[in-house]
Amino acid sequence: MILVADSGSSKTDWMGYFNGEIVKFNTPGINPYFLNEQDISKLILKNEILVQYAEEVKEIYFFGAGCSSPDKHEVVSNGLSFVFPNAYISADHDLLGSVYATCGDEEGLNCILGTGSNICHFDGNKIQDGHHGLGYVLGDEGSGTFFGKKVLLSYLYKKMPEDLASEFKKTFPAEKEQIITNVYQKPFPNIYLAGFSRFMAAQKDHPFIQHILKTGFQEFVDTNIKDYPRYKSIPCHFVGSIAYYYQDELKAVLKDNGIRVGKILQKPIEELFNFILRKEGVVKQAI
């Protein structure tokens, strides 16, 4: 059995291929910056489907947020090895997974706009070295965490229009002290902050939210995409819920900057799964 996983900080999407059958399931996000080997094993063992197939899994291809260095690869690999003792395990960065899903074997820019954000240039063979992906404290422009923080700060600083502020308070009744506790003292503050970005969905047409979205996407373009000299001559692909649900605003900003839009995927797992199966010579395409 082959398992392929695409993991963000919030959720991991899994797909498996076993005797011609495809299985799909989800677990919480697996990020080695926030979880150690034991945490990962415990998390996996809570999923009945994964445990059911554990002994039969022969190969795992894991692509995850935070898997940007050999030591982080090892954390994930060791955590999975405890649950899947008979499996060959490959752990790599989620950027590579999204590149396989969007670019395939063609050159392009690949962007992640989900809970966090990142970008890379793929030359058709390998990812070129970059200096982005600084995380939610230093970077993550245009991400769920970025927008959640913008929305939250506008409310706390009383910069949000009164009609929106009233709706925000109904949706998120937490007081300032509780918010500060969640951000500074509890685990996964990036996911907590990203949760506030959901407020934009119901209020997307409001001029204030439109301004936040467009300026946030422009900041991503200025900080990340324009860092690549050939950004206007190759397709620019996107993966992630923020890119997917706000693609109208994203496309408008990209058009204004002369950027050619490629694929925009909410989740890369199906395209990634098919790419891995083709690459490993299992089947031409499962889906």
In a domain, 287, yes or no: no
Residue range 252-274: mean pLDDT, rounded:
95
* CA nearest neighbour of 190 among 134, 124, 122, 273: 134
Q: Are strands 59-64 and 2-7 parallel, antiparallel or unpaired?
A: parallel
What is residue 153's predicted lDDT score, i.e. its pLDDT? 95
Residue 248: domain span: 106-265
Cα distance between residue 275 and residue 17, in whole Å: 13
With cut-offs at 50, 70 and 90, classify the pLDDT of residue 95. confident
In a domain, 284, yes or no: no
Task: Check: pTM over 0.75? Answer yes or no.
Answer: yes
In a domain, 36, yes or no: yes
Bridge partners of 54, per DSSP, are: none
| CA 234, chain centre distance (Å) | 22
11 three-class SS: strand
pLDDT digits (tens, 9 = 90+) for 107-147: 999 998 988 898 999 998 888 877 776 666 776 899 999 99
∠ CA 22-24-29 to the nearest 5 degrees?
145
Q: Domain check: are 180 and 48 in the same one?
A: no
* 284 has a pLDDT exceeding 70: no
Q: Domain check: are 122 and 187 in the same one?
A: yes
Query: Which residue has 């008979």 as its token pair?
Result: 86
Q: Domain check: are 183 and 121 in the same one?
A: yes
In a domain, 117, yes or no: yes
Number of domains in the chain: 2
The DSSP secondary structure of 34-57, one letter per residue, reads T--HHHHHHHHHT-HHHHHHGGG-
Task: Please say whether the dihedral angle defined by the alpha carbons of residues 156, 157, 158 and 161, taken in this order, is positive or negative.
Answer: negative
pLDDT digits (tens, 9 = 90+) for 13-69: 999 988 778 989 899 989 888 889 999 999 999 988 888 888 889 999 999 988 878
| CA 153, chain centre distance (Å) | 23
Cα distance between residue 44 and residue 53, in whole Å: 12
